[in-house]
Amino acid sequence: MNNTFLSDLTSIRLILSSEKATLGVDFTITCVSNDRAIVFRRNVTNECTIAGGYSNGTCNLIGEYNHNYKYNCNNSTGEYMYNLTIPSSFNIDTLHGSRWSCSAPIEVVSSENIQLYVNVPIANVIITTVPTDNDPVEIISDNNQNFICKTNAGRPTSRIQWYISGRNITGSATHQTNVCKPGCNGKFISSSELTYSGIIADNGKIIYCTAVNIEGHIVRSENKSIVILYSPSVHLKPKYDPYIVYQGQHNIVLTCVIDDGNPADFVTYEWNSPIGTVNTHNLTILTVNNSHSGQYSCTATNNAGTSDKATKQIDVHYGPLISNISKHQDIIEGQNLIVFPIVDSNPVARLIWWTRQNGANFRYDGYVLRINTIQRTSSGNYACYVMNTLTPSGMNEINRTTRETFYVNVEFKPFLENTRPYSPSHVTAIENNIIHLTLTLTANPTPTIEWTFRAETDWDSCNFITIVSNTTTNRLFTSSSIFIDNVNSSNFGDYAFTARNTAGVFSRRFVVMKEDWRVSQPVSSYSNCLDVILVPPVTILDASSSWLRQDMLSSTKENIGMFVAGVVTLVVGLLSLTISVIFVVRNSLKNKTLKSAKTDEYTGVQRSNPAFTDAYTTLHSDIEPRALQEQIINTYEECERTPEAHAYSSVDKMESEPNHPQHHDVNAYEECGKRIEAHAYDTLDK
């Protein structure tokens, strides 16, 4: 065997003359190798074996080979190039989808497999009309005519375009379909349908289509001439345009009147309107409603065609329709109520006004109802009135008025209802007895109630726990209470009450102490004051006044125990009277001698601060008037916030001997961490 057939084969590859073969066009497959001998294979069939070539380009073919192909060999470039050409005369479509490769005849070295794709150009595209194929094609103006274009089988699918006298109208065609019948071997028949609406201006023009499945190979159909048939001309009665009618009006008649037509006999009519299509000479509306507004048109059809549309606008007038007003309006007291209606009316409303039920003097003129800084007394039923004027054609004007009612619910934050029984903020109790804390609030909407408790042993912490209460609500009134029977030492401490609703928050604190607890304050601890200061029962109730309480009582606390001397079994009424007289006389003397700029300052603060006039932050005292309380508080402020102030409802004797200090952080509910003590007792010690 010749050693040239055993030479080292370092590369072998297959090259096509084009990406795809085309029926009727030469197609060449080239095998490039550094071996003199190669084999062309199609699928599993050897098409030929070539053992080198000659200088004239012919190939040395060995054994059997396919005589339908042409062969050419060239080794002038240093590589062997073996060309297999399928001539245009050969039906290359039979080779579509076959896989080709080349390899050395002995060594197991082969090029990649390449699948052959063969383009089959379409030969024709045929245009027809449906349901019958006519030429020329008569089309009534504004009517539709369907055209179909269909190609013969080709590979790949075709793209069909529609034209009317050179203008592309493909956008009016339906989606193109491509059909491959069984055994088609990938060759498709493409078709497209055009729905054309006759236009008078297109009379005498031609419609045709084109198809292309291979670039540069365009096939055109025959032409279809179109003839547009003209219609009669018409107008509508009555003469009004727009024709104004009103909602609820009866028996409205529109008439389609023919002006001209050819032919003029056998005329049929067609009305198009918002209510549908009618095929009568007259169009009648029995009862008018809003849906009848719109354009009405009529056409008349004879044997030659259908007329142009005669149109008339009908405008339905109707009374006001009010929307965008909620039947129930919730608003917080102090805010601005704004009610902005949406009014649908035709024609537009010319009058809008507002009234209030049981409010004979309430009338508000204007499109938007606005009540600034609304108060709870403004709750109630309101009504919006809107009026417009209808002007139907050929008739007198008609006034129409519409009313829309709604309820305004003014919400306000909880506040203490002081007309009903409520507990003082400082309470004394006896062990094994009962504790009853109660209060009643007025609020809208009904508030959420929470009671929390901090034991006396936890004064230095913020350890409040939630406790169960008895709460009832009757309309705007909410009553809540804490009832503890068989009191023990763990029940003494700080009780905090909170009521919340969408409008705000109300808070109150209750300090519960043992009834026999007494504290005295030595005179020496008041070095900056001229005398011992006794603070009468003063209760600062809620969080809104906590800033003043903290400012007055932010001193270092030293509670000095007191020795109770004397007999305390006297009649409670006599003791109360005696103590009241002592307080009035002592503080009267102090007010004459103690003059301070701070006194004036805090007096002014109290008078200007709304917290001291609010219904649920009022200072409660049955012993002394407000002016005297302000003086005592200001005197305490002059002491540079160093002493502790304890007020007792009954005091027999004040001792100056110090006792061990007790730190009770009463104000920790508002701000834990500050050492502020202010104990005021609203009950007399018995």
pTM of structure: 0.42
Among the listed residues 415, 426, 425, 377, the one whose alpha carbon sits nearest the alpha carbon of residue 614: 415
**What is the distance between the alpha carbons of residues 246 and 288, in angstroms, rounded to a whole number?**
7
**Residues with Cβ < 8 Å from 141, sequence gap 6 or more?**
198, 199, 200, 228, 229, 230, 231, 305, 306, 308
**Residue 10: its pLDDT value, please?**
52
* Phi and psi angles of residue 601, each rounded to the nearest 5 degrees, phi first: -60, -50
**What is the distance between the alpha carbons of residues 515 and 434, in angstroms, rounded to a whole number?**
12
Counting Cβ atoms within 10 Å, is residue 418 exposed (0-12), middle (13-18) or buried (19+)?
Answer: middle
**Residue 440: its pLDDT value, please?**
96
* Phi and psi angles of residue 247, each rounded to the nearest 5 degrees, phi first: -60, 130
DSSP state of 638: H
Among the listed residues 443, 441, 440, the one whose alpha carbon sits nearest the alpha carbon of residue 412: 443
Classify 631 as helix, strand or coil: helix
Instruction: Kindly give the parts of the chain with pLDDT less than 70.
Output: 1-10, 76-77, 107-108, 261-264, 516-686
**Residue 621: its pLDDT value, please?**
30
pLDDT digits (tens, 9 = 90+) for 653-667: 333 333 333 333 333
pLDDT digits (tens, 9 = 90+) for 334-377: 999 999 999 999 999 999 999 999 888 899 999 999 999 999 99
**Residue 479: its pLDDT value, please?**
96
**Residue 109: its pLDDT value, please?**
79
Tokens of 398: 């008609």
